[in-house]
Amino acid sequence: MNMTFKQLADRYRQALLSDIIPFWETKSIDTEFGGYFTCLDRYGQVFDTDKFIWLQARQVWLFSMLFNRLEPRSDWLDVADRGASFLRRYGMDAEGKWYFSLSRDGRPLVQPYNIFSDCFGAIAFSQYALASGDEEAKAIAHRTYQQILDRKSNPKGQYSKAFPGTRPLVSLALPMILANLTLELEWLLEADTVDKALETCVDEIFTLFLDSQHHILRESVSPSGQPVDCFEGRVINPGHGIEAMWFLMDIGQRQNNTQLIEKCVEVILRTLEFGWDEKYGGIFYFLDIDGKPPQQLEWDQKLWWVHLETLVALVMGYRLTGNAQCWSWYEKVHQYTWEYFPDPEYGEWFGYLNRQGEVLLDLKGGKWKGCFHVPRALYLCLREFEQLI
């Protein structure tokens, strides 16, 4: 790759503003019932009308964030308002817990079993409150954050399938999302609450989940941080581990903590060494830390979000530390990502490739892929390269 920081910044800006955002602005808006369609085929046609809280909330956050941080365009705020209005009316049960999915017209389909619905609801209404000045939105964000803290020790509650006591496990996903969530809501939280939450997240991630031998993050460990020899205990999700590290580098910047940033960079580099497919290129979706067969049949797929989060982490790590390995890996991941994921014919990006890099599903959105990882990463990389310039 032979591009200047200016050329890279221009490329990310062009992709964000001329491809990704127009795709979702024109294809995803449900003008009849409110909210967004996220199940879009390659051409942007709707193939399913169910509405998933993760993706509804993420799109509210994304358009609000662009309004707040890139340019205060009224059309972006209008898009965010459509989703916020729908979620405010239909997204929560009587206790303020967020459902997992709704019908097109807002009727609950899946109970509020998943705390990540609440996490994305909180960041959505936080950014929307900043953009719109809506006091109710601010209150929803603050109340939801407090409920997340209350549920942290037992996130699934009555909906947990695990038999109590036999094999207790804690998951990396919760402290990593809480790290990002707390920074997102910092403007409306007490300073002591923010400092305590961030300190706890950093401590839990490195104390409990960092494998001392491989220096990569396990997805699940015992509550005391001990490795557990089972499928869940051995699983490595390289994309998750790398994404968690740029969340923590954000904290490191806030605290001027160079030691934390250096530690994050080391984990990123070790994770890439562990998770890179030397035969076909790209980053594996799941791996077993001991080299045993993974339980996930999709383990060798190459996913859009994994590569995009890695680009963010690498360029951030390079800017903050000047580590040459970050740049070397950035060039390798950039080449793979931009060659295989963008759809030059019909716009937006493919999400799911097989191990060889061939398109496995040509949808542009579904139950898990929506208007979030692609535009967020493009925006963040744009900002990183602007700072490098």
Q: Helix 135-151 crosses helix 115-132 at what angle (to 10 degrees)?
A: 160
**Phi/psi of residue 357, nearest 5 degrees:** 95, 10
CA 287 from centre of chain = 19
Per-residue pLDDT of the chain (389 residues; tens, 9 = 90+): 789 999 999 999 999 999 999 999 999 999 999 999 999 999 999 999 999 999 999 999 999 999 999 999 999 999 999 999 999 999 999 999 999 999 999 999 999 999 999 999 999 999 999 999 999 999 999 999 999 999 988 888 888 888 888 999 999 999 999 999 999 999 999 999 999 999 999 999 999 999 999 999 999 999 999 999 999 999 999 999 999 999 999 999 999 999 999 999 999 999 999 999 999 999 999 999 999 999 999 999 999 999 999 999 999 999 999 999 999 999 999 999 999 999 999 999 999 999 999 999 999 999 999 999 999 999 999 999 999 99
Query: Domain 1-31+166-388, CATH 1.50.10.10 — does that match?
Result: yes
pTM, two decimal places: 0.97
Q: Which residue has the tokens 């199940």?
A: 39
CA atoms within 13 A on the CB side of 368: 8
What pLDDT, on the 0 to 100 scale, is given for residue 159? 82
Q: For the sheet with 108-110, list strands across it.
A: 51-52, 101-102, 108-110
C-alpha dihedral over 90, 92, 95, 96, to 10 degrees? Answer: -120
The overall longest dimension of the chain from CA atoms, in Å, is 55
**Phi/psi of residue 98, nearest 5 degrees:** -90, 130
Reported residue count of the chain is 389
Q: Which two tokens stand for residue 90?
A: 């239909």
Q: Which two tokens stand for residue 350?
A: 């493919």
What pLDDT, on the 0 to 100 scale, is given for residue 347? 98
**Cross-strand partners of 287:** 236
* Top-level class of domain 33-161: mainly alpha
- What is the residue extent of each domain of the chain? 1-31+166-388, 33-161
